[in-house]
Amino acid sequence: MDKQKPRLCENKDECCGCTACATICPKQAITFNYDMEGFLYPRVDFTKCVGCLKCEAVCSFKKDLKTPLMEDSKTKIYAAKSRSRDIVTNSSSGGMFTVFSDVFLERGDIVAACQYSYESASVMLSIITDKESRDKARGSKYIQAELKDSFDKLIALLRKHREKKALVFGTGCQIAGLDLVLKSMNLRDRVVLVDLICHGAASSNLWKNYISKIESEKGSSISYVTFKNKRNGWESPSVFAIIDGKEISIKSYADWFYMGWSLRESCYKCPYTRIDRRSDITIGDYWGIQNVMPEFYDRMGISLVIVHTESGRKLFDNVSPAIDYQLSNRRECLQPRLISPQRRPNDRDLFWSDMQEKGMDYCIEKYVEHDDVSIKKKIKKCLKRLLKIQ
Ligand SMILES: Cc1cc2nc3c(=O)[nH]c(=O)nc-3n(C[C@H](O)[C@H](O)[C@H](O)COP(=O)(O)OP(=O)(O)OC[C@H]3O[C@@H](n4cnc5c(N)ncnc54)[C@H](O)[C@@H]3O)c2cc1C
Ligand code: SF4
Ligand code: SF4
Ligand code: SF4
């Protein structure tokens, strides 16, 4: 009988790049290669492949596109923030990443989260062992993480230290892929999975080209980058890099992200732009908190916390002395990325062909955020609409 051929990534919009397929493959037959836009996609080496189809079985993105996740009536929703002013100020939202990871780090358990590497100008899923390196993983990076063999490393650690548990943070699609891998290896009950509400993932190579252009113009390397600094408050995030002690604007890159030009094809179809997930807990910004709980508003940020499972509930209970929180509900907490994916811009293909043919400088001039369709405006419009319906 002919061996079966896995059908992994027949269309680009069906693959989020989570690497679950490569992690599970018993023959190391799957590798990842950059496409023209700088996103990583799997490729099967059919000389190694034995047709077991284990890779297809863990492709949660494709499964969840076909059959959306069911609504769970046990889900609990909260507005929450750390009681520490320092943590809230230095985090993207209300500091729940720090609060949750403290529990695991203090017990000597494993924590994995996405950090920015100044050496490789990329975001990587790293194993974190102390609070100092955890603090470096704070902050939203608007660059798709390059997962490479991160899931393999995490699994190796879980197998080596059988007494330890792990806490993993990632986007909805990364966590959904990891969920199925861990289940297939009987490791899921030792891991708490926390995913993010997510606008999308921008090409990692686009960022590398963008920042290397700035660095070569300035003749020096960046020492710091932030996509969500709160010096003007949580709702007006500042985005900048620092070179030689001076602040440099990276607004064009942020505009491409917010407007959706630079996102991966899968993001426009994302099945995780909803409340129900494969994770134990979902965290994000509680946009519009001032409309539904004005007394709980904090100009430095409030997190939205969605607790899906029993192990999520245990972790939330565990951190309750370290946070202030209020119970919310499915209607109050809605925001654009809990309703539908970012719309694919009509001129997305033109953006990428301009980038390839006319270059970065041309695109910096041409592709700028329009107020009428920016994500910030859309969040405000969406919240106003929802309030009218209530
Ligand atoms: C690309 C992206 C888009 C987002 N879009 C939305 C949105 O539309 N609406 C919303 O409510 N919230 C969104 N968020 C989530 C929000 O910005 C905060 O990251 C989240 O609320 C956690 O904040 P915090 O204060 O708990 O943690 P922080 O201390 O700021 O920690 C940030 C967490 O995000 C992780 N992270 C950062 N960058 C990446 C990345 N590129 N890939 C994977 N993980 C990463 C870090 O590892 C850490 O776990 C987005 C986050 C990212 C990374
Ligand atoms: S498992 Fe993940 S990386 Fe592999 S094909 Fe599916 S979505 Fe893509
Ligand atoms: S079918 Fe099996 S051997 Fe072939 S790529 Fe998929 S997991 Fe690997
Ligand atoms: S929008 Fe969806 S597919 Fe895109 S990075 Fe976020 S979770 Fe993944």
Where are the chain's structural domains? 12-66, 73-390
Return d(Cα 12, Cα 153) in angstroms, integer.
27
Residue whose tokens read 């590398």 = 208
CATH (residue range 12-66): 3.30.70.20
Are residues 226 and 238 in contact, defined by beta-carbon separation less than 8 angstroms?
A: yes
What tokens were used for 144? 């798709």
CB atoms within 10 A of CB 218: 14
The CA-atom distances, in angstroms, between 243 and each of 214, 219, 247 are 9, 9, 7
Ligand 4 centroid to Cα of residue 71, in Å, is: 19
Return d(Cα 390, Cα 385) in angstroms, integer.
9
Return d(Cα 300, Cα 334) in angstroms, integer.
20
Instruction: Return the ligand 1 atom nearest residue 196 CA.
Output: 15
Instruction: Report the pLDDT value the prediction gives residue 381, as an integer from 0 to 100.
Output: 63
Instruction: Report the pLDDT value the prediction gives residue 386, as an integer from 0 to 100.
Output: 60
Closest residue to atom 2 of ligand 2, CA basis: 18
Instruction: Report the pLDDT value the prediction gives residue 370, as an integer from 0 to 100.
Output: 78
In 3D space, the residue among 70, 279, 71 whose CA is nearest the CA of residue 177 turns out to be 279
Is 175 near ligand 2, meaning CB less than 6 Å away? no
Instruction: Report the pLDDT value the prediction gives residue 355, as an integer from 0 to 100.
Output: 98
Instruction: Return the ligand 2 atom nearest residue 22 CA.
Output: 4
Helices (H), 124-247: 131-136, 150-160, 172-184, 204-218
Instruction: Report the pLDDT value the prediction gives residue 323, as an integer from 0 to 100.
Output: 98
Question: What is the mean pLDDT for each group of 10 consecutive residues in the chain (390 residues)?
Answer: 88 97 98 97 97 98 96 97 98 98 98 97 97 97 97 98 98 98 98 98 97 96 97 96 96 97 98 98 97 97 98 98 98 97 98 98 95 58 59
Return d(Cα 335, Cα 226) in angstroms, integer.
23
Instruction: Report the pLDDT value the prediction gives residue 377, as an integer from 0 to 100.
Output: 60
Residue whose tokens read 């539908």 = 340
Ligand nearest to the CA of 20: 2
Instruction: Return the ligand 3 atom nearest residue 53 CA.
Output: 1
Q: Cβ neighbours of residue 48 under 8 Å, at least 6 residues apart?
A: 27, 28, 29
Burial class (CB in 10 A: 0-12, 13-18, 19+), 210: buried
In 3D space, the residue among 68, 61, 50 whose CA is nearest the CA of residue 4 turns out to be 50
Ligand 2 centroid to Cα of residue 14, in Å, is: 8
Ligand nearest to the CA of 144: 1
Task: List all residues whose CB is within 6 A of at least one atom of ligand 3.
Answer: 6, 24-25, 27, 29-30, 44, 49-55
Closest residue to atom 7 of ligand 2, CA basis: 15
Q: DSSP E strands: which ranges in the chain?
A: 30-34, 40-44, 76-82, 110-117, 122-128, 166-171, 191-196, 222-229, 238-243, 246-249, 281-285, 303-307, 323-327
Instruction: Report the pLDDT value the prediction gives residue 3, as an integer from 0 to 100.
Output: 86
What tokens were used for 19? 């690497």
